[in-house]
């Protein structure tokens, strides 16, 4: 279906992201906007989220919401009543798609697993568990507060209460061999998951791991070649289990893909609510890039004055570039006609041809995508094309 450039977002859909900025502890590898707090005023956060949703509703009247995603931080630290109030506010503000996906990220500790019934009653129909490793020693190195036993128990409980479940694992960790990762992934697949997010450990600036790495106190990280071998093994094992990669780091049974994250990758519109939340929202035909202040206290204070979000108009060229950067992460790739419509200029075939010759990119009519060989070096491909 063809959409006018000003309504291009309809190709990808419309979602709402709600950022809960609090965690019980800060993981040493994490560069997300998360904070540890002793006391959290749930009522104040509930009221602020509702006010922010209503403010965005004034600018996006008449839309149908495809997805709602509670991310963080650790959203499973929210009271179920807070989650229910946010879901109800979104339902009042926009129409819900009949098949709306409402996801909550959760840590698999026993305390949070006990809340799952409440979250289900609040409207959550998909949960994403931050398992991260199926090895107790590795979990300690990653700063996680749960054990493998707790993670597997939480997964069992989640399947009782939610129509859809997913869990995350991190590989290429300290002292992890290819055979170690094979054993761990085989164990994960034995639970017949419908969706897996499998990330290679990266050392991000501003994290505890980055500080340790700079002074040589993060030993045992796999060499680059070993990480590439783990990536290849991941594709092979997941393909054989019926969970092909539909995105660089995400695997799913057909029909079980994350609909919310697919809005990002298909360059739809999504509103970001909460400290540090980003968004891409089309208002009166102009796509805006939005970003909220990161500090939780400052965000709450600004919300009371209605000033939480900075918005900047995206040029046609910026929109085309963003679309390509997101769509090339998908196994289905990018639509060259949509790229040209967004930016007003076709993709340079002279830039594309060498990548085709090297077998890093495929082309099928007006669609292009990264091959199996190209996926691990996607950033280099994007630099060449843009």
| CATH code at position 139 | 3.20.20.70
pLDDT value at residue 274: 95
Cα angle 88-264-102, degrees, rounded to a multiple of 5? 25
Domain boundary among 264, 281, 308: 264
Cβ atoms within 10 A of the Cβ of 151, count?
24
pTM of the model: 0.93
Predicted local confidence at residue 358, as pLDDT? 97
What pLDDT is attached to residue 242? 98
Is residue 257 assigned to a domain?
yes
The β-bridge relationship of strands 14-20 and 64-72 is parallel
- For strand 95-106 and strand 195-200, is the pairing parallel, antiparallel, or unpaired? unpaired
In-domain check, residue 301: no
Q: Would you state the structure tokens that stand for residue 119, as one six-digit string?
A: 């979250």
**Whether residues 98 and 184 fall in one domain:** yes
Domain interval for residue 209 = 5-264
279 is a domain residue:
no
Q: How far apart are CA 162 and CA 256, in angstroms?
A: 13
pLDDT on residue 247: 97
- What does the block give as tokens for 73? 């931080």
59 and 162 fall within a common domain: yes
Residue 167 domain flag: yes
Say how far apart CA 321 and CA 327 lie, in whole Å.
Answer: 10
C-beta of residue 128 within 8 angstroms of C-beta of residue 103 = yes
Q: Is residue 297 part of a domain?
A: no
Whether 150 contacts 109, CB under 8 Å: yes
pLDDT tens over the chain, length 386 residues: 667 777 899 999 999 999 999 877 756 545 555 667 667 899 999 999 999 999 999 999 999 999 999 998 889 889 999 999 999 999 999 999 999 999 999 999 867 788 999 999 999 999 999 999 999 988 988 788 889 999 999 999 999 999 999 999 999 988 899 999 999 999 999 999 999 999 998 767 776 566 666 776 666 677 778 889 999 999 999 999 999 999 999 999 999 999 999 999 999 999 999 999 999 999 999 999 999 999 899 999 999 888 778 999 999 999 999 999 999 999 999 999 999 999 999 999 999 999 999 999 999 999 999 999 999 899 999 999 99
User: Is 358 among the domain residues?
Assistant: yes
Task: Say if residue 256 is in the same domain as residue 321.
Answer: no
Q: How far apart are CA 372 and CA 153, in angstroms?
A: 35
Q: Which residues of 97-127 are buried (b: 16+ CB within 10 A; e: fewer)?
A: eeebbbbbbbbbbeebbebbebbbebbbbbb
What is the pLDDT at residue 42? 93
Residue 15, φ and ψ in degrees, nearest 5: -130, 165
Question: What's residue 222's pLDDT?
Answer: 75
87 touches 101 (CB < 8 A): no
pLDDT of amino acid 368: 98
CATH of the domain at 354: 1.10.10.920
Q: Are residues 55 and 185 in the same domain?
A: yes
Same domain, 17 and 165: yes
Determine, yes or no, domain membership for 164.
yes
pLDDT in the model for residue 281: 97
Q: What would the two tokens of residue 316 be?
A: 């046609």
- Choose among 82, 70, 73: nearest CA to 21: 73
Is the residue at 258 inside a domain?
Answer: yes
Same domain, 259 and 345: no
The sign of the dihedral angle between the CA atoms of 327, 329, 330, 331 is positive
Cα 331 to Cα 328: distance, rounded to the nearest angstrom:
7
Regarding whether 23 and 168 lie in a shared domain, the answer is: yes
Paired tokens of 206: 């501003």
Does 56 share its domain with 190?
yes
Residue 218 CA to chain centroid, in angstroms? Answer: 26
Please check whether residues 27 and 173 belong to one and the same domain.
Answer: yes
Dihedral sign of CA atoms 378, 379, 385, 386 in order: positive
Instruction: Please state the domain count of the chain.
Output: 2
* Bond prior to 73 in cis (omega within 30° of 0): yes
SS3 202: coil
């Amino acid at each position: 279906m063809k959409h006018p450039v000003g309504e291009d977002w309809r190709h990808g859909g419309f979602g709402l992201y709600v950022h809960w900025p609090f965690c019980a502890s800060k993981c040493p590898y994490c560069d997300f906007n998360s904070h540890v707090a002793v006391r959290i005023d749930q009522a104040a956060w509930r009221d602020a989220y509702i006010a922010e949703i209503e403010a965005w509703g004034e600018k996006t009247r008449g839309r149908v919401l495809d997805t709602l995603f509670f991310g963080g931080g650790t959203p499973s630290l929210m009271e179920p009543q807070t989650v229910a109030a946010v879901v109800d506010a979104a339902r009042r503000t926009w129409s819900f798609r009949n098949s709306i996906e409402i996801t909550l990220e959760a840590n698999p500790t026993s305390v949070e697993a006990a809340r799952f019934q409440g979250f289900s009653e609040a409207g959550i129909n998909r949960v994403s568990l931050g398992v991260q490793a199926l090895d107790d020693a590795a979990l300690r190195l990653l700063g996680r507060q749960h054990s493998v036993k707790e993670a597997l128990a939480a997964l069992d409980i989640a399947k009782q209460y939610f129509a859809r479940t997913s869990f995350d694992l991190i590989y290429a960790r300290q002292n992890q061999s290819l055979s170690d990762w094979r054993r761990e992934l085989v164990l994960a697949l034995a639970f017949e998951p419908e969706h897996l997010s499998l990330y290679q450990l990266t050392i991000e600036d501003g994290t505890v791991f980055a500080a340790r790495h700079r002074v040589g106190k993060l030993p045992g990280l796999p060499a680059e070649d070993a990480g590439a071998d783990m990536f290849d093994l991941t594709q092979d094992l997941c393909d054989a289990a019926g969970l092909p990669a539909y995105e660089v780091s995400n695997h799913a049974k057909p029909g079980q893909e994350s609909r919310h994250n697919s809005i990002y990758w298909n360059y739809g519109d999504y509103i970001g609510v909460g400290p540090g939340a980003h968004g891409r929202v089309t208002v009166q035909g102009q796509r805006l890039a939005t970003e909220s202040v990161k500090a939780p206290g400052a965000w709450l204070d600004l919300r009371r004055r209605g000033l939480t979000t900075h918005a900047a108009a995206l040029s046609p060229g910026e929109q085309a570039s963003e679309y390509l950067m997101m769509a090339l992460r998908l196994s289905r790739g990018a639509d060259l006609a949509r790229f040209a419509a967004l930016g007003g200029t076709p993709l340079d075939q002279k830039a594309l041809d060498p990548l085709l010759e090297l077998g890093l990119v495929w082309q099928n009519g007006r669609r292009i995508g990264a091959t199996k060989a190209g996926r691990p070096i996607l950033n280099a491909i994007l630099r060449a094309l843009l």
